[in-house]
Structures are given as C-alpha cells and as structure tokens.
Amino acid sequence: MIDRKHTTARMSGIVRYNGTVWLAGQVGNPGESVADQTRECLKRIEALLAEAGSSPSQILQAVIWLKDMKDFEEMNSVWDAWVPSGHAPARACGEAALASPDLTVEIIVTAACDPA
C-alpha cells in the first residue's frame, strides 16, 4: 500500500512504499544565504525523514538544484558537515531556475525506511 503524507492537489510531501520513502523537494527561506538555505533544507529533510520512519543515514539518493553553480562550494560546506560519516548517498547536483528568484538551493531525497 502506498502511504502519502502532506498531500495537496499538486503533490505529496512524503510518499512511502515498500521500504522506500520519497520526499518532495525542500527549499530554505527565500533571501537567506546559500549556506543558511542549505541548512534549512536539511533541517526540513531530517524532520520529514523522521516522520516517515527514516533518517539521514538511510538516504539512498540526493538530487540538489542550485540557482547558480558558483554556490557549489558554499552548499557543499553545509552538506558535508551534515551527511553522517560513511553514509554518503548517490548524489547529483545541477543548476536550475527555482520556483522563486530568492531561492538558491532545492534538495530532493529518496531513502530507505522500515516497511509500513
């Protein structure tokens, strides 16, 4: 059975199925620095993973979108400190126009979780 949480007409914030959890893309607070937006993304991801019965050490894949690749190192400085040692997921990072011009980073994760 598919379990969806924080569902609207457009999307679900959390989707769980068969021991895997997918999170909708998370963003930080518009207008803050890249580092602060990254920290806020990761804080929100951590809370959603906990709600779904998972954790940062169970992340399988992360997709990171930056407004500008010049922010790669600043985002990575926060990311590298957050990822549990020995549990780095498969990851991709690219540049994209985000939903608001004041957003600089969006992070999407897929993780393992206990089956419902």
pLDDT at 66: 98
Q: What's the CATH number where 26 sits?
A: 3.30.1330.40
Domain that holds residue 62: 3-112
The continuous run of DSSP H or E covering 91 comes out as strand 90-95
Identify the three-state secondary structure at position 103: coil
Q: What is the pLDDT of residue 43?
A: 98
Where helices occur in 17-95 by DSSP H, the ranges are: 34-51, 72-82
| Domain count within the chain | 1
Per-residue pLDDT tens, the chain, 116 aa: give them: 999 999 999 999 999 999 999 999 999 999 999 999 999 999 999 999 999 999 999 999 999 999 999 999 999 999 999 999 999 999 999 999 999 999 999 999 999 998 76
* pLDDT for 115: 72
